Structures are given as C-alpha cells and as structure tokens.
C-alpha cells in the first residue's frame, strides 16, 4: 500500500512540476480567401500568424489529400510568414477544403472551404 502511494505521489509531482514536457506549441494563423476559385487556383491572404512561423513549417492539404510542401507565396525572401503576405494553392475546387497542418507539432492550424 505504501509503495502504491509513493508511486502515485511521484507521478503527480512529475506531472505538476512539468518534467513530463509540454510538447511543441501549436502555431496559429488566420487567413482570408481573396477571390473565388479561378480555374483550379485559390489565393489566400495571411491576416495574422504566430511570431516566427515559417512557410516551410506548414503542410497544405486539399480535400483529395494532395499535400503541398510550398505553395506559391509572396514571401519577402526570409521564409517567415507575415500578415499581408499571400499564398496560392492549385488543385482547388469550389466546395473542397484546405487544411493547414503545423509540421512541428503535427496539429491542425485551420481548415477553410474554397468558394
């Protein structure tokens, strides 16, 4: 009985004190589609994004599970995503979805429906 109590107390201590690790902090981003899908392309403007986020940190996944590692974007050359920059995804169809996934934390940043 004492051994169980000691193990439980140690587990709770490690959990509360943070020794278990906090993992990667998920990126956040807000985007706006700038116009209706043209042909098979859709362009999005970055409205806000976590500080220091890089274009290379994101997977861009469309409804048919096509993953884009680096869509065309208006990056100023530093690789950092900034508000006001845009990116274009091809293989877009009205009604399909675009999911942005943070490769570092493997978490979904957002999902948008093409219009």
Name the pLDDT band for 9 (thresholds 50, 70, 90): low
Mean pLDDT for the stretch of residues 5-31: 69
For residue 48, the model assigns a pLDDT of 97
| pLDDT at residue 76 tops 80 | yes
For residue 20, the model assigns a pLDDT of 54
| pLDDT at residue 18 tops 60 | no
Query: Which string of DSSP letters, residue by residue, matches 50-86?
Result: -TT-BGGGEEEEETT--EESS-EE---SS-B--TT-E
Q: Is 21 a domain residue?
A: no
Q: Is 53 a domain residue?
A: yes
- Largest Cα–Cα distance in the chain? 70
Q: Is 13 a domain residue?
A: no
Q: Is 7 a domain residue?
A: no
**Hey, is 46 helix, strand or coil?**
strand
Run of H or E including 111: strand 107-113
Q: Is 80 a domain residue?
A: yes
- pLDDT for 27-74, tens place per residue? 899 999 999 998 888 999 999 999 999 999 998 998 877 776 657 888
Q: Is 12 a domain residue?
A: no
More reliable by pLDDT, 46 or 15: 46
For residue 69, the model assigns a pLDDT of 60
Residue 60, beta-bridge partner list: 68, 100
- For 70, the domain range is 34-113
- pLDDT for 96-111, tens place per residue? 999 999 998 999 999 9
Name the domain count of the chain.
Answer: 1
């Amino acid at each position: 009985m004492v051994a169980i109590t000691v193990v439980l107390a140690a587990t709770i201590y490690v959990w509360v004190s943070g020794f278990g690790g906090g993992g990667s902090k998920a990126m956040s981003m807000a985007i706006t589609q700038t116009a209706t899908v043209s042909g098979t392309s859709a362009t999005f403007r970055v409205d806000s994004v976590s500080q220091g986020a890089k274009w290379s940190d994101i997977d861009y996944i469309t409804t048919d599970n096509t993953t884009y590692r680096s869509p065309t974007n208006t990056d100023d050359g530093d690789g950092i995503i900034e508000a006001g920059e845009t990116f274009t995804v091809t293989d877009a169809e009205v009604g399909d979805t675009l999911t942005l996934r943070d490769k570092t934390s493997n978490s979904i940043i957002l999902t948008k429906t093409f219009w």
